[in-house]
Amino acid sequence: MADSSFNPFKMAQQQFDAIAEQLNLDQATRDFLRNPDREFQFNIPVRMDDGSYKVFRGFRVQHSDARGPSKGGIRFHPQETIDTVRALAMWMTWKTAVVDIPLGGGKGGVICDPHNLSMREQEGIARGWARQIARNVGPVQDVPAPDVMTTGQHMVWMLDEYERITGTKAPGMITGKPVGLGGSLGRTEATGYGVMYTVREACKKLNIDIAKTTAAFQGFGNVSQYAVDLYTKLGGKAIAVSCWDHEDKKSYTYRKMSGLTFEELIKVTNKFGEIDKAKAQEMGFEILPGDAWIEQAVDILVPAAIENQITKDSVMKIAPTVKIVAEGANGPTTPEADEVLKSRGILNIPDFLANAGGVTCSYFEQVQCNMNYFWTKEEVLDKLDQKMTAAFHAVYNLAQERKIYMRDAAYLISISRVAEACKLRGWV
């Protein structure tokens, strides 16, 4: 579970401040980029199935649109906070900049738990969110997408509401839609595959044969599922995945030393990315405590669940065999844990580089929608591979050249790109 005293926005600002110092940014640029451009908080009244009304709290934060329309997902989560949304919006700004796509950073959310809501109630929340923000989003203004516990169905409801309000057809106003309603082929795999494209390149740089490696994954939502899928296709052996169990209100690690596959795991996984414990046991998985994923004697660790998971305490449990940490989740590693990874010489592929496959494919979806011309899955994944590979090499080469940590190199590249755009526009 997330630590209640942990503030992701403070962490995002701390990371930014350190790089602003290195880049010697002027005070105005620092003040401008360490806080969001604008943020919206609003009420979403919904008529529930029992006839009563309930008011949900919604958010949208636009951190920066200096390089293009804001871009970022919408989370439905019972513990959603404005600070989480602010941090994620800021990270999205750096993420779109590091892979060099012409978008900025935004994020949205609603405090709710889809586990306890019917589809009709969820539709009410989705349409209510779109109604509240319709004037401030759009294909060339701010482009939302799915995130934790939201799906293509929620995106279509939001799109439909937006189109009703504006009287237009604007499929490019939101991404992550189902194929056939403006969704892009390859989008489902994009984030997890993107993580593995960077791991593949990291292995090459470290002279490691990826087919001889083992890995442990935290989480089994969309990102982790497709990371496991491509990793095993590249010949690697995935031995453990952890995931949250909604019934027991805690997480477990599922381990199979002979290696587990995407196909067998997906058979025992529900739509929330939660593995059925009883079925997993029947299939011969060992069931270990939730945090056991981090202790596995593997070559590669892939935290792909939520923020604040590799901390100053948990980082000490990482086995000496680990050579690469690829951050599929947003903000999984705290600055204190980073210092330990640095001192141990573990190659860290930072979140906003490793998991940028999702936003890159969202960008491809927006482009396809806006020109009303769609590509094949092979074209999408090929373009994604090229973007992720080029971004990884730019960051890795700068890290080597300056003898700095990968996260710092990625921040130097992205923050300097955004700061330059703000200066060219005459904002600072």
Average pLDDT over the chain, rounded to an integer: 93
Q: What value does the mean pLDDT take over residues 90-106?
A: 95
Q: What value does the mean pLDDT take over residues 238-242?
A: 93
- Name the class of domain 188-354: alpha beta
Task: Compute CA distances 218 → 242, 291, 327, whole Å.
Answer: 5, 9, 10
Residue recorded with tokens 């978008």:
103
Q: What percent of the chain has pLDDT over 90?
A: 79
Q: What value does the mean pLDDT take over residues 292-306?
A: 92
The catalytically annotated residue of 95, 107, 177, 323 is 107
Q: What value does the mean pLDDT take over residues 155-177?
A: 97
CATH topology identical between 38-94+103-183+402-428 and 188-354: yes
Task: Compute CA distances 65 → 36, 40, 115, 140, 422, whole Å.
Answer: 10, 15, 34, 10, 9
User: Sorting pLDDT into bands at 50, 70 and 90, what band is 342?
Assistant: very high
Q: Is 107 a catalytic residue?
A: yes
Higher pLDDT, 312 or 125: 125
Question: Which tokens in the block code for residue 199?
Answer: 């791991």
Higher pLDDT, 382 or 288: 382
Domain ranges for the chain:
38-94+103-183+402-428, 188-354
Question: Which tokens in the block code for residue 119?
Answer: 């589809």
Whole-angstrom Cα distance, residue 200 to residue 196?
6
| pLDDT at residue number 240 | 92
**DSSP annotation of 134:** G
Per-state percent for the chain, helix, strand, coil, to nearest 5: 50, 20, 30
User: Sorting pLDDT into bands at 50, 70 and 90, what band is 4?
Assistant: low
User: Sorting pLDDT into bands at 50, 70 and 90, what band is 294?
Assistant: very high
Whether residue 109 has pLDDT greater than 60: yes
| pLDDT at residue number 3 | 55
| pLDDT at residue number 404 | 92
Evaluate whether the domain defined by 38-94+103-183+402-428 bears CATH number 3.40.630.30: no
DSSP of 184-246: PTTHHHHHHHHHHHHHHHHHHHTT--GGG-EEEEE--SHHHHHHHHHHHHTT-EEEEEEEEET
